[in-house]
Amino acid sequence: MVIDFNNLEINNLHSQTEFEKKVFFFLEEWLSDSEKVNVQTSGSTGIPKIFEIEKQKMLNSAKMTCDFLGLSENDKALICLPVEYISGKMMIVRSFERRLKLIVKNPSLESLKDLDETIDFCAMTPLQVENSLNKIHLIKNLIIGGAAVSESLKSKIIEVLKLSDSQTKIYETYGMSETLSHIALKEIYPHQNDYFTAFENVSISKDERGCLKISAPDLNSEILQTNDLVEISNDNRFRFLGRIDNVINSGGAKIFPEELEDLVKKEIPNEVVFLGLKDESLGQKLIAVIEGEKSDDLIKKISEIQFEKSFHKPKEIIFVEEIPRTPNGKISRIELLKMIDNN
């Protein structure tokens, strides 16, 4: 199904798949007289919640993204994200705001499998990109969100695109449901940046814990307090260090698991998560959980990594068949910790 927002005739749209029906239902909700729509949070950091969002604020968010990427009327976009969440809803709103032609593809790990034309804009999760590397050269502007982009995936993206004549630009997103998708982007390709750049009219600062505070009045009337530890380089650029909820206290030393994961993923292709298990002497014992079959080769590679601190080296390495994830692809550290504890 293709929706032409420059010539929208909703009565002529014929949905066939279950996903197309969901897109159609949201479109009806969007075009209704109501000034608000319901959005569900992902539940990656707690129990999923449903809350109302003003349509005008969603349009403000859409304009920010479209302006940043330089999208124009009649450009082609592709949606392959669930419309239950803000990520999928905002793809439709961006298409509405900028009058794009929206190609509707069922959300799956291989949503781009049948894509054979160049498109101007798409949003995907890291897992989707991982399974669509042979197609990403067809996308002019690709944003990746829902979870952090691993170092191994970045390397694969760069390797694939360098072999093509593609003019593709790829960004990692920073945001949450409360910021109506993202408020900042970080370029991955053709240039690789360490810092996110916040959109215009978005102000950032830190609280006493070092966690990011966001002021984006066009998107949310409240100042949003996150639990994300950051380093701010100037008024609108910041580097994500990790979630304060995930900080591991081992023998009095604070460890940021996300930084260790980035380091390890430069050396091994598997998904890896660092966790703190309860320990009588240390308080928390640092472990690494690797997705896949047990491998002496992987254990050896991790043992050879030059960690910045001696206590950054995991006390134990555990292999699991599959790391639990939320419906939109984020790793669920809570469920993973439960799974390790139960076993």
User: Are 60 and 142 part of one and the same domain?
Assistant: yes
User: Are 215 and 270 part of one and the same domain?
Assistant: no
Judged by DSSP in three states, 233 sits in coil
Tokens encoding 76: 């082609």
Parent domain of 131: 2-243
User: Are 128 and 254 part of one and the same domain?
Assistant: no
User: Are 227 and 110 part of one and the same domain?
Assistant: yes
Residue positions counted in the chain: 343
Judged by DSSP in three states, 296 sits in helix
Q: Is the dihedral of CA 318, 319, 324, 330 positive or negative?
A: positive
Tokens 């995930």 belong to which residue?
Answer: 246
Stronger pLDDT, 178 or 275, i.e. the higher one: 275
Phi, psi of 170 (to 5 degrees): -125, 135
Distance of alpha carbon 297 from alpha carbon 132, whole angstroms = 27
User: Are 260 and 120 part of one and the same domain?
Assistant: no
Domain count, the chain: 2
pLDDT score for 328: 61
pLDDT score for 51: 77
DSSP 8-class letter at 149: P
User: Are 263 and 319 part of one and the same domain?
Assistant: yes
User: Are 235 and 252 part of one and the same domain?
Assistant: no
Last residue of a domain, one of 228, 243, 258: 243
Last residue of a domain, one of 216, 243, 270: 243
User: Are 275 and 226 part of one and the same domain?
Assistant: no
In this prediction, what percent of the chain has a pLDDT beyond 70? 96
Q: How far is CA 116 from the centre of its chain?
A: 25
Segments in 32-118 forming alpha helices (H) = 55-69, 86-98
Judged by DSSP in three states, 122 sits in strand
Residue 316: give its domain's CATH number.
3.30.300.30
pLDDT score for 118: 95
pLDDT score for 177: 79
User: Are 183 and 159 part of one and the same domain?
Assistant: yes
User: Are 200 and 131 part of one and the same domain?
Assistant: yes
Q: Is 277 left (phi over 0), alpha (psi -120 to 50) or beta?
A: beta
When computed from its CA atoms, the radius of gyration of the chain, rounded to whole angstroms, is 21
* Exposed e or buried b per residue across 233-256, where buried means at least 16 C-beta atoms within 10 angstroms of its C-beta: eeebbbebbbbbebbbebeeeebb
| Per-residue pLDDT tens over the stretch 45-68 | 555 678 788 999 999 999 999 999
User: Are 137 and 238 part of one and the same domain?
Assistant: yes
| Per-residue pLDDT tens over the stretch 112-158 | 999 999 999 999 998 899 999 999 999 999 999 988 888 888 989 99
Last residue of a domain, one of 243, 268, 287: 243
Tokens encoding 214: 């966001």
DSSP 8-class letter at 331: B
Residue 66: give its domain's CATH number.
3.40.50.12780
User: Are 266 and 279 part of one and the same domain?
Assistant: yes
274 to each of 133, 231, 320, how far by Cα in Å?
27, 21, 13
| Per-residue pLDDT tens over the stretch 292-315 | 999 999 999 999 999 989 899 999
